[in-house]
Amino acid sequence: MANYPHPIIAREGWPFLAAATLAAVVATIFLGWWSLPFWLAALFVLQFFRDPAREVPAGEGIVLSPADGRIVQVGDSRDEYLKRDCVKISVFMNVFNVHSNRSPVDGTVENVWYFPGLFVNADLDKASTDNERNAVHLRTAEGHDVTSVQVAGLIARRILCYAGKGDRLARGQRYGFIRFGSRVDVYLPPGSRPRVAIGDRVSATTTVLAELPRA
């Protein structure tokens, strides 16, 4: 899977931005200054679909944030995808965060699972199991298994995942997108050491979430 170039505005947003801009232009022609709400809507679409390039931190055994947002869960949990105990870290994205999702580790995609579901507030813990979601199982060269799960939110209606079984992902590589408010859950092997706490603001790729266990 080729790394996605960074055109500043995510390709997923091009149709929405074009439609919003066209509507604003037409409104300006017919409504003049009353078209301001249409331009504000176009500006919102522009900021929502921004997709800036990010610097990838160096270091062995580190897990990077797969999304921009706020940490809403850190601690021991259960990885229902790999049927194991784990350390779980969850990142909640609001509509003002970048919604491009990045690989948390260097690894090979062992499996991808999609589950239809509900669209409850992604800030709630039950969203991890009740909402529509897409899980990617990554295995590092050291043999560590990491599960990165895109979870739809209250108004999210489309999870996009471009990774498939057998793909090789690099840390920070773009592999998906979620349209409008959502979360990403990361399930790590037992013994992983979190480097974030609940309430912390994180940035995709540039923030280190945790350190994997050392052999």
Q: Which residues are catalytic?
A: 182
Contact assessment for residue 28 and residue 17, using Cβ atoms and an 8 Å cutoff = no
What does the block give as tokens for 6? 């960074």
Q: How far is CA 27 from CA 21, 48, 55, 156, in A?
A: 10, 22, 40, 27
Give me the residues paired with residue 51 across strands: 8
Helix (H) or strand (E) holding 17: helix 14-31
Contact assessment for residue 114 and residue 134, using Cβ atoms and an 8 Å cutoff = yes
Tokens 């579901």, residue located: 117
| CA 87 to the chain's CA centroid | 18
List, in order, residues 6 or more apart from 102 with CB less than 8 Å away.
54, 64, 65, 66, 67, 171, 172, 173, 174, 175, 204, 205
